[in-house]
Structures are given as structure tokens and as C-alpha cells.
Amino acid sequence: MELHVLPFDHPDSVKLIDEVQQEYVVRYGDPDVTPVDPAEFAPPVGTFLVGYVNEAPVACGGWRAHDDPPPPLRPGDVELKRMYVVDAMRGRGLSRRMLAALEDAARRAGRSRVVLETGHRQPEALALYRSAGYTDMEKFGPYRDDPMSVCLARRL
């Protein structure tokens, strides 16, 4: 898989983001309604990666910085968003490679911790993040009162 830094609103990014939103609809009944501004994923305050196999976009993920966040988030945190691998390419380690690349980019940007929200109906995501050293944290933002949400964090 070749990884490319792309704008959040690049056509290949949008295609994959639309697919992950449909995944949320299937699993939870609704898309993720967290407010997202594409500019939040532009360096140096964020990064959005698209992974390609044979020139086809097959995976994506990004992070956005939180420099003056409300607790339990901390200055220096980045939040992972829109991690996704197309169904036909799952089980090949692409999500683990994407996660490592996003963490490396955040580390190079001087960030200290990665936080994320996933859900109980995404057991494969929970398994990936926990196997990579992520641990439960207090729920944050729009997920604070959502019983289906799981918030995780990992120091870089």
C-alpha cells in the first residue's frame, strides 16, 4: 500500500469517507455527525492519508490537533478520524499500517497523545487499537453521553 497525504476533501478522500459513513449507518443507524472542517486535517494542524493498492484508493485515516481542548482532552492531543479500509482489502494489515503512519506523522508534528472514539459495534477496530496499546479514557465531546461509544488514548 502506498500512502499519500491528501486534502480531506480530495475526491479519493471523499469517496472513502462516504464509504465509512455508510459503514456507520449499517452498524449504528446513523452516520458520524461530529463536526468536521476539512482544514482541520491540513498540515501542520492535521494530516489525512489515503492508501492506494494498484492505484486504487483502499484505505484512509486522519488526525486533527486539539490545542486548547476541553477536558478530558489535553493540549498536544490529536484525534484520529475516519480510519477505514475497504471491505475487499480487510485482513491484510492495512489498518495497522495506516495507524502507524498516522501516529508517526503526529509524533513528527510534536504531538504527545492520540485519542479516538469508536464503538461497541466495531469489534475489529477495538481489537486493532487495544493491540496497538490504546487504553480506555473518559468519553469526550459529542460522544460523552453515547452508550455505544468507546474512547481510547495512547501516549506517543
pLDDT, tens only, 46-85: 999 999 999 999 999 999 999 999 999 999 999 999 999 9
Average of per-residue pLDDT across 107-111: 97
How far is Cα 111 from Cα 104, in angstroms, rounded to an integer?
Answer: 10
* pTM summary value: 0.96
Q: What is the DSSP letter of 131?
A: H
Share of the chain above pLDDT 70, in %: 100
Structural domain range at position 68: 2-155
Q: With contact defined as beta carbons under 8 Å apart, do 116 and 151 qualify?
A: yes
Counted domains in the chain? 1
Residue 72 is classified by DSSP as: T
Q: What is the CATH number of the domain that holds 15?
A: 3.40.630.30
Q: Dump pLDDT digits (tens) for 126-153.
A: 999 999 999 999 999 999 999 999 999 9
Residue 70, preceding peptide bond in cis (omega within 30° of 0): no
